[in-house]
Amino acid sequence: MKLSDIADNAGSRKKRMRVGRGIGSGKGKTAGRGGKGQTARSGVRIKGFEGGQMPLHRRLPKRGFNNISRQDFAEINLDRLQEAVDAKLVDAKDTVTIESLVKAGVVRRPKDGLRLLGRGELKSKLTIEAHGASKPAIAAVEKAGGSVKILAPAKKQDGEAA
């Protein structure tokens, strides 16, 4: 095979149809848009219009709501925390905070704070500052000889997105 032998498969590329170029082309005059009216115009077709019948999006019931006070925490499990300690990303002597975990690359971004979850096993004695923690997580940290300090929820600034 040579570089000059390479070609597209037959029928893989197709010329675009040039519309509105005279009646002999077969796509002249109305250019495939039919007669006059709203659908013959550009950019004004009503999406979801069903000829006066109540549209589907209005027939279906509304459900749920978006809680503007909802907080999205950066979650970390005990097994992931232990892996970080074993890999020397997190110093077991220092207090583990959301800032230290972000700096170490264990958590990508701080979000609204840190929430500690109880999957896995913790062998290291750690002092952890988190905005939330599950009961099994707190029990596991205290069993390993460490402590968990629950911080007050982070206050949202005015104009900050939820």
pLDDT digits (tens, 9 = 90+) for 116-141: 999 999 998 999 999 999 999 999 99
Range 139-146 average pLDDT? 93
Q: Which domain holds residue 104?
A: 74-150
143 within a domain of the structure (yes/no): yes
Is 25 a member of any domain?
Answer: no
Q: Pick the closest to residue 101 from 119, 115, 122, 121 (CA basis).
A: 115
Count of structural domains within the chain: 1
The amino acid present at 66, given as its one-letter code, is N
CATH number of domain containing 92? 3.100.10.10
Q: Is residue 118 part of a domain?
A: yes
Q: Is the pLDDT of residue 39 over 90?
A: no
Written as one letter, the residue type at 33 is: R
Summarised one tens digit per residue, pLDDT across range 41-97 is 888 777 888 889 999 999 999 999 999 999 999 999 999 999 999 999 988 899 999
How far is residue 70's CA from residue 52's CA, in Å, rounded to a whole number? Answer: 39
* Residue 24 lies inside a defined structural domain of this protein: no
**Residue 160: pLDDT band by 50, 70, 90 thresholds?**
low
In a domain, 31, yes or no: no
Q: Is the residue at 39 inside a domain?
A: no
How far apart CA 33 and CA 19 sit, in angstroms, is 10
15 in any annotated domain: no
pTM of the model: 0.60
**Sign of the dihedral defined by the CA atoms of residues 67, 148, 98, 122, in that order:** negative
